[in-house]
Amino acid sequence: MRHWLRNGHVSAMACVPQWSANSTVLLGALVGLVDRRQLHLRDPFGQRLELHLQVLDPLLQEGLLAACGLSCPVLDTRPRDPLTLPSDRDHTGRDLGTEELELLRQAVESGHLNSTGGTLTPRFEAEFAARHGLAHAVACSSGSAAVHAALGALGLQRGDEVVTTPITDMGAVLPIAYEGAIPVFADVDAGTGNVTAESVERCLTQRTRAVIVTHLFGQPADTAAIVALCRPRGIVVIEDAAQAFLAEHAGGALAGTVGDLATFSFQQGKHLTTGEGGMVVTDDSGLADAVARFVNKGWGYGDAQPDHDRPGLNYRMTELQSAVGIAQLAKLDGCVDRRRASAATLCERLADLEGARGAAQFTLPRPQPGTSHSYWRFALLLDEPAGTSDALLPDRLGARLRDLGVGNAPRYVKKPAFDCAVFRDPGRFGPLAGAFASAPAEPLGSRETHPGCYRLLSRVLVLPWNEQYSAAQVDGIAAAVRDAWLAETGVRDGGRT
């Protein structure tokens, strides 16, 4: 049985079997609660019951609970409104303004909105490549298109294998099968969610043609170690930096500059947005040319005798997207700097929670040694012994945080890519049927083969992160996480610090 006071409510929480209807009746009767609006019962996880009793006088609250045979530690009795935070879904959390409008006006006035004859897309590509210190960038219509074009540039054959991560956006996985190749899922580190040189090495075979290295949440994976493994074997390394703009590997190399190719997404919620959009970058002019052909229906613009010389698609970015992209790129450093600074503040505010509290464990997303994180998301790790409760700790803490106005995604994508319906029976879909025709009929992954992946997904609570958070809002998030954590792990004494 646990109970506490917070936000002017008495909250008591108990396992359902231990909570007697009499307790509720007694509590209600004691405060003369004929008005049931003052008494709420919540059963958020099907196992535990939360009782919220809206009586503001703490002495009365304690007396009431004592009369019902419950002792009541005080957590926080100060009324607090739920936080309202900037969101990347609208103008509150996006920096879109006069700079974007001015370039959009230029695009519209030019009368040419398609990139093949426009000037803004080549300009965006040149500026994006320059910011990464690379020779080439090819703009395209989405991050998924960018991954597809990067793979399309490799001329994969049916039966080839591409190693990737099971924790990513599906748009980064399915292009492998569309190119006739078999996705092979490497396990991830249970702390970062990133593949490692060791997990990738276990997946390499004679048929491996490429490895996709995703920098999850903005934390760079150890790409150099994976490149060292792959280059002598002639295997291409593609960095998926969709979540890691301007993140730095150990030694300072930007995310996207260590592999042979890299892909980015400019979808609404990314550090740099054009609504939808993507980019492929590389130093290799042959690969850049192949990517450009792929996003242009296999057409070689500028060739003496152009022809559709490969099965590319129309994955072009428009001049309107490029107009916004140029303006957004100029703001990117500031955006990443602000995210880093506010994430560092939150880590500082919550540092004392790190480590064990009873059987539960709290870990902050600090950058891996020598690297810099770009905080697309702020991913907490929460552990408790298996079987402690039917609902996992991230789900329980996530529900508390939502009540306090802090949106979140417990367990991120919830399940590994290989557990998604599309891979359960790949024969139902043409591209997958073709790709898997030559694949061994083994499962693509399991708890035994991918322990790091399942562990990460069971312990991660993903908080949205945003460059527009004010210092007061970061303090508010810190207070909410602290309260939720202390309440969830059974605070006995307290108050906010």
Ligand X SMILES: Cc1ncc(COP(=O)(O)O)c(C=O)c1O
What residues have CB less than 8 Å from 180, skipping those under 6 apart?
A: 156, 157, 158, 159, 160, 431, 434, 435
Q: Buried (b) or exposed (e) across 261-294, using 16+ Cβ within 10 A?
A: bbbbbbbebbbbbbebbbbbbbebeebbbbbbbb
Which candidate, 472, 409, 405, 418, places its Cα nearest to that of 217?
409
Least CB distance from residue 170 to ligand X, whole Å?
8
| Nearer Cβ to ligand X (88/240) | 240
Is the Cβ of residue 214 or residue 328 nearer to ligand X in the bound state? 214
- Name the minimum Å distance from CB 36 to ligand X: 45
Instruction: Return the amino acid letter for 475.
Output: D
Ramachandran region of residue 180, left (φ > 0), alpha (ψ -120 to 50) or beta? left
Task: Identify which of residues 11 and 267 has a Cβ nearer to ligand X in the complex.
Answer: 267
Residue type, 99: E
CB 382 within 8 A of CB 362: yes
- How far apart are the C-alpha atoms of 160 and 152, rounded to whole Å? 13
What minimum distance in Å lies between the beta carbon of 171 and ligand X? 4
Q: Which is nearer to ligand X, 131 or 270 (CB)?
A: 270
Nearer to ligand X, 267 or 371 (CB): 267
* Closest distance of CB 294 from ligand X, Å: 15
The whole-angstrom separation of Cα 173 and Cα 191 is 22
Least Å distance, CB 143 to ligand X, is: 2
3-class SS of residue 381: strand
Per-position b or e across 27-66, b if 16+ CB within 10 A of its CB: bbebbebeeeeebeeeeeeeebbbbbbbbeeeeebbebbe
CB of 41 to ligand X, least distance (A): 39
Contacts of 178 (CB under 8 A, 6+ apart): 148, 431
Min CB(242)–ligand X separation in Å? 3
Residue 268 Cβ vs ligand X, minimum distance, rounded to whole Å: 9
Is residue 339 a contact partner of residue 345, using CB atoms and an 8 Å limit? no
Nearer to ligand X, 263 or 489 (CB): 263
> Taking the complex as a whole, how short is the minimal distance between the CB of residue 419 and ligand X, in angstroms?
18
- The smaller minimum CB distance to ligand X, of residues 276 and 383, is found at 276
- Interface residues with ligand X (CB under 6 A) are 142-144, 147, 168-169, 171-172, 214, 240, 242-243, 265, 267, 278
For the record, the structure tokens of 33 come out as 């609660």
Which residue lies nearer to ligand X by CB, 5 or 247? 247
Q: Is 317 or 323 the residue whose CB approaches ligand X more closely?
A: 317
CB of 213 vs ligand X, minimal distance in Å: 10
Q: What angle do CA 469, 474, 478 make, to 5 degrees?
A: 155
Q: Which of 341, 464, 475, 401 is nearest to 88 (CA)?
A: 464
d(CA 261, CA 163): 15
Question: Which of 142/468 has CB closer to ligand X?
Answer: 142
